Amino acid sequence: MSAPVIALSGITKTYEGEGDAEVHALSGIDLDIFAGEYVALMGPSGSGKSTLMHILGCLDQPTAGRYLLGGDDVSQLAEDELAQIRNERIGFVFQAFNLLARTSAQKNVELPLAYRGVGLRERAERARDALTRVGLGDRLLHKPSELSGGQKQRVAIARALVQDPQVLLADEPTGNLDSKSTRDILGLFDELHREGRTLILVTHEEEVGARAGRTIWLRDGLISDGRPLLEASV
Ligand code: ADP
Ligand code: MG
């Protein structure tokens, strides 16, 4: 079998709490994810899902442990090196979209390319392609306030895809959407999976988990074998 895209070993994350209290958000995560997998990350609130996603997305660093992304150790990089990895190799989709409000869909999607110094013309073309890919080819100049929730999330997905990242990460991407937009966005993730993208989604929704090829359950900062008993028993 080929090497995993993501290989975690012994990942822990401890936050300073009030006074002397520490919060052990992750207590030793070992996990391999392979190219083309569609993984759902599930578990109760507070179990460490967002903490793990932020580490996977190089938005935060582990307290201890090793994270190999495409074979490169990214667990102890300086902030500017991390920013470069985020920009070039990771697509991240947030629950609240995180778009620039006064900026067109196209300019929002161009942003990661602008940071990287891609020229105006290529930037515009690639942003248009990405927006067309997510079904928004006719909404290029709309601002977020002129788009529905589902359309906003499509813009965010286009922004995440525009650099052709190694992994696409999404933390509760349908958490702010109505049921129709949720189905819409899930359909788009299905298509991206069929195209061979590597997807990792955090979700509370069984429906989302059911679409993924593999579900990973977190509980108290650890991967639990199968579905947590507490949730399954009622
Ligand atoms: P989930 O996404 O599964 O709801 P989180 O990863 O957000 O869980 O949180 C895991 C644990 O870490 C929780 O106990 C939470 O309160 C704590 N936590 C998360 N972020 C911080 C932070 N920045 N500072 C202190 N504690 C945090
Ligand atoms: Mg969370």
Q: What is the pLDDT of residues 84-131, one digit of tens each?
A: 999 999 999 999 999 999 999 999 999 999 999 999 999 999 999 999
Give the per-residue pLDDT at 19: 80
Contacts of 152 (CB under 8 A, 6+ apart): 97, 99, 144
Residue 234 confidence class, pLDDT cut points 50, 70, 90: very low
d(C-alpha 105, C-alpha 90), whole Å: 20
Give the per-residue pLDDT at 109: 98
| The two three-digit tokens of residue 201, written as one number | 């989604």
Asked if residue 17 has pLDDT above 90, the reply is no
Neighbours of 190 (CB within 10 A): 14
Residue 207 confidence class, pLDDT cut points 50, 70, 90: confident
Mean pLDDT across 153-164: 97
Mean pLDDT across 10-32: 93
The response to whether residue 54 sits with its C-beta less than 6 Å from ligand 1 reads no
d(C-alpha 141, C-alpha 123), whole Å: 15
Question: Ligand 2 center to residue 163 CA distance, Å?
Answer: 25
Residue 23 confidence class, pLDDT cut points 50, 70, 90: very high
The response to whether residue 2 sits with its C-beta less than 6 Å from ligand 1 reads no
What distances in angstroms separate CA 181 from CA 16, 165, 173, one per listed residue? Answer: 38, 24, 11
Distance of CA 225 to the CA centre of its chain: 23
Which residue minimizes the CA distance to atom 20 of ligand 1?
A: 51
State which of 50, 61, 201 you would mutate to test the pocket of ligand 1, scoring each by most atoms of that ligand within 8 A of its C-beta.
50
Q: Kindly report, residue by residue over 54-93, the tens digit of the pLDDT.
A: 999 999 999 999 999 999 999 999 999 999 999 999 999 9
Residue 2 confidence class, pLDDT cut points 50, 70, 90: confident
* Mean pLDDT taken over the chain: 93
Which residue minimizes the CA distance to atom 17 of ligand 1?
A: 25
Q: Kindly report, residue by residue over 130-145, the tens digit of the pLDDT.
A: 999 999 999 999 999 9
Give the per-residue pLDDT at 205: 80
Mean pLDDT across 183-197: 95
Give the per-residue pLDDT at 229: 54
Question: Ligand 2 center to residue 214 CA distance, Å?
Answer: 19
- Helix, strand or coil for residue 74? coil
Detail the DSSP E strand segments found in 72-152: 72-73, 90-93
Which residue minimizes the CA distance to atom 18 of ligand 1?
A: 25
d(C-alpha 55, C-alpha 149), whole Å: 26
- Helix, strand or coil for residue 100? coil
pTM to 2 decimal places: 0.94
Give the per-residue pLDDT at 230: 52
Give the per-residue pLDDT at 233: 38
- Which residue, 115, 167, 156, is CA-closest to 7? 167
Which residue minimizes the CA distance to atom 22 of ligand 1?
A: 15
d(C-alpha 167, C-alpha 187), whole Å: 18
**Helix H or strand E segment including 69:** strand 64-69
The response to whether residue 47 sits with its C-beta less than 6 Å from ligand 1 reads yes
The response to whether residue 25 sits with its C-beta less than 6 Å from ligand 1 reads yes
What distances in angstroms separate CA 120 from CA 116, 123, 127, 141, one per listed residue? Answer: 11, 5, 11, 16
What distances in angstroms separate CA 28 from CA 9, 12, 64, 115, 145, one per listed residue? Answer: 7, 5, 9, 34, 42
Give the per-residue pLDDT at 27: 97
Q: Which CATH class is domain 6-223?
A: alpha beta
Residue 206 confidence class, pLDDT cut points 50, 70, 90: confident
Question: Ligand 2 center to residue 11 CA distance, Å?
Answer: 17
Contacts of 27 (CB under 8 A, 6+ apart): 12, 220, 221, 222
Per cent of the chain over pLDDT 70 is 96
The response to whether residue 48 sits with its C-beta less than 6 Å from ligand 1 reads yes
d(C-alpha 128, C-alpha 124), whole Å: 6
